[in-house]
Each structure stands twice: as structure tokens, then as C-alpha cells.
Amino acid sequence: MTGRTTVRDRRRTRPRLLAAGLAVALLTAGCSSGNDAAVFGGTFTFVSPDGKIDLSYPTAERGTVQNLSGTSVSDAAETVSLDQYTGKVVVLNFWGSWCAPCRAEADDLNRAADELAGDGVQFLGLNVKDARDSAADFASGKQTPYPSIYDPGMATLLSLRGFPTSGIPSTIVLDREHRVAQIWLRGVTADEIVPVIRQIATEQ
């Protein structure tokens, strides 16, 4: 009869509603990084360097990195964002407490961050594939003077199109317009990176 819903109709409708709800849930999950990190685009695309692990980009060839953000390794209630450092040279370091070369370069990165602070340079760590407690303990033990975004699912790393996800540790220097100026696909020392970053900081 028109306008009446029978028990049979309700039984037929319920599975459809459940399926629709499941589809929405799966779609939402597919859009999520599964952690607190978020990325918002950019023009930079990494091209395989034919075995090179140190790469410099002339100003005319630099692609932008847009905002990267997420909760702090040391405080889940605190948000850390690349956009907080507008107009500064930003040194992005991808690391994990489980990574031996990351542990080896930590003291040098701390020293470089201290030496370059007066040049308008900000270091920003991106902690990947890690447990927050392990990452926080490592950063605290090393007395790291700069923040790190907690990104266990590597959303920030994956946002750099073509960038090798196995490249941990790696360090990326963004110029004052947050364009990629320099990349090291390896552990680094303060002595080698400070002069390069300082030169980028003096660009007009």
C-alpha cells in the first residue's frame, strides 16, 4: 500500500543504511593520515638525483613547501606548524629515535641550531615511525633546542612528492620563502651544514 512502510521494507532498508554508513567511515579513514600531522600542498617535487645525496637548488629551480603541522613530540596538546616561522629560513630534519644515524647527528644539529639562531634560522624536527614516549624521551635527553612534529604515519614526508621514504635521516633547508634550497639525504655534521645554511640565510 502507498505511504506505508512494512516490516519487510524496514529489514531491506537497514542493510543499505549500514552499508552507506560503512562507506562514509571508510572514505573518512582514507582521508586521514592516522596521526596528528597534516600537510597542505606545495610545488616541490623531488627528482631522483642519480645517486647524489647532497643536493643544492638554484633560486630559479626551487619549489615551495606549504604548511606542515602537527602536535609536538614533547606535548600532545601543543600544535607546531611551519607557518609559525614565516620569513625565516627553516631547517627540516626527519628523524626517529630508533634510527642510529639520527642519534649520531643529534648533537651536531643542536649545535647548528644554536649557532644559526641569530641569523633568522629555525630548526624543525619531523619525527616519523616512532612512539611518542620514545621520541619525547630522546628529545629531552638530548636537550634539543627546537620543536619536533610527531608524525608516526609519515604524512609530512609523503607530502614531498617523489621523496624517498627510506631517507631517514634527511635534512631539508627552506629559504625565507619556504622553497627547497638544499637537501642532505644522510646524517650531517654542524661543521658542514652551518656555512651552507648561513649562505642561504643571507640571500636577498
pLDDT tens digit sequence for 135-170: 999 999 999 999 999 999 999 999 999 998 888 999
Q: What is the pLDDT of residues 42-59, one digit of tens each?
A: 889 998 778 899 999 999
State yes or no: pLDDT of 34 exceeds 60: no
Q: Which of the following CATH numbers is that of domain 38-201: 3.90.1150.10, 3.40.30.10, 1.10.238.10, 3.40.50.150?
A: 3.40.30.10
How many other C-beta atoms lie within 10 A of the C-beta of residue 176? 18
Rounded to whole angstroms, the Cα distance separating 65 from 141 reads: 30
Residues 6+ apart with CB under 8 A from 116: 89, 91, 123, 194, 197, 198, 201
| 3-state secondary structure (DSSP) of residue 191 | helix
Task: Name the phi and psi angles at 41, rounded to 5.
Answer: 85, -165
Q: Which among 88, 63, 80, 99 has a CA at the least distance from the CA of 151? A: 80
pLDDT confidence tier of residue 21, bands split at 50, 70 and 90:
very low
Output the pLDDT for position 2: 44
| 3-state secondary structure (DSSP) of residue 65 | coil
Q: What is the pLDDT of residues 83-140, one digit of tens each?
A: 999 999 999 999 999 999 999 999 999 999 999 999 999 999 999 999 999 999 999 9
For the chain, the farthest-separated pair of C-alpha atoms sits apart, in whole angstroms, at 84
Do residues 125 and 146 make contact, with C-beta atoms less than 8 angstroms apart? yes
**In whole angstroms, what separates CA 127 from the centre of its chain?**
8
Task: Parse the chain into domains and list their residue ranges.
Answer: 1-32, 38-201
Position 79, amino acid: T
Output the pLDDT for position 119: 97
CA quadruple 146, 151, 152, 154: dihedral sign: negative
pTM for this one? 0.81
Do residues 187 and 101 make contact, with C-beta atoms less than 8 angstroms apart? yes
| 3-state secondary structure (DSSP) of residue 130 | coil
